[in-house]
Copies of this chain bind each other. A is one copy, B any other.
């Protein structure tokens, strides 16, 4: 499966987004805070959310340019969630650079860095909503986007809380897991795709299909991410394998394994899950067990099912090049693990 990130139609849009983000985050009234706000957004990222919003807007009515600013609002909000999530997850690195709260070059005092990271996240959140107010669309559309985006952030906060709470339980059901990632990850893809269709003045049926497409692709994306955490090449992903295991995340793979493992396998998994001091050998051993229980294969199968369902949603959209790319996107999202 080719990496669709390199498709000219994606690259072109991403470059426009990149340029606009640089401009938007180039000025602020308090330089020390601005520097913090620039950190994650300037450290890379595929800009899938804005590209996604532009693609659906272009697909529905060639309105990609108008949707870009909305997509950037989501990208800033996405970056706000990353900054805060990294504190909550006690992460050390992100996009190959130190997390804000973990970077001693920012400030020697740990509490100062923590406070700074919280404030930087809040500022990115606010900046996202400020950008939303400037979207080139009617007031009625902007109001609708405001409602959807605010509801989205609330849902993401709920998903994040579920994620933290689930890490303390061993009886998470597949249904609970899916609800959690639907909120934590898929809601943003949903809002991006839906927002593009709203800005393009699509029919309610098109808007709803784009929303559903975003949800299904987003769920597939997260399941694939969970698999990449276990099987990915650290040199490419920029982080050590099995980070989710150390953090005790209840991924679909773990949920499946806890329900299907033998007693001795289960014991081993439980001993490593959420153990921040687990050795690389213990992590690799756990990954082996997750393979042996068929849990990784199972997760792959589920991800592919979501991808297939996502592609079904596209059928009500105009049949054009953008629809083709969205279709490839659904494939790529779950197949980037291969």
User: Taking beta carbons and an 8 Å cutoff, which residues of A are in contact with B?
Assistant: 28-30, 32-33, 84, 87-88, 90, 111-112, 114-116, 118-123, 125-127, 129-130, 132-134, 138-140, 142-143, 146-147, 149-151, 153-158, 160-162, 164-165, 183
Contacts and interface: CB of A to CB of B under 8 A. Distances in A.
Nearest to A125: B125
Task: Kindly name the residue among A32, A126, A164 whose own CB sees the greatest number of chain B CB atoms within 10 A.
Answer: A126
Contact of A123 (B33, B87, B118, B157): B157
B115 A129 contact: no
Contacts of A126: 150-151, 153-154, 156-157
26 contacts: A29-B155, A29-B183, A32-B161, A33-B157, A84-B118, A87-B115, A88-B115, A88-B118, A116-B161, A118-B118, A119-B160, A119-B161, A120-B157, A122-B157, A123-B154, A125-B125, A126-B151, A126-B156, A130-B151, A130-B154, A132-B150, A139-B140, A139-B142, A142-B146, A143-B146, A146-B146
Given A112-B164, A119-B160, A143 B133 contact: yes
DSSP majority for the A interface?
Answer: helix
A200 to B, nearest CB: 18
A84 B87 CA distance: 13
Given A32-B165, A142-B139, A161-B33, A125 B122 contact: yes
Contact of A161 (B30, B150, B155, B161): B30
Contacts of A150: 126-127, 129-130, 132-133
Nearest to A152: B126
A99 B116 CA distance: 19
Question: How many identical subunits does the complex contain?
Answer: 2
Nearest to A29: B158
A83 to B, nearest CB: 10
Contacts of A112: 164
A306 to B, nearest CB: 21
Given A143-B133, A151-B130, A158 B90 contact: no
Nearest to A107: B168
A146 B129 contact: yes
A301 B155 CA distance: 47
Given A122-B153, A122-B160, A129-B129, 14 more contacts: A28-B154, A28-B158, A30-B162, A32-B161, A87-B114, A87-B118, A116-B161, A116-B164, A123-B157, A126-B154, A129-B146, A132-B146, A133-B146, A139-B139
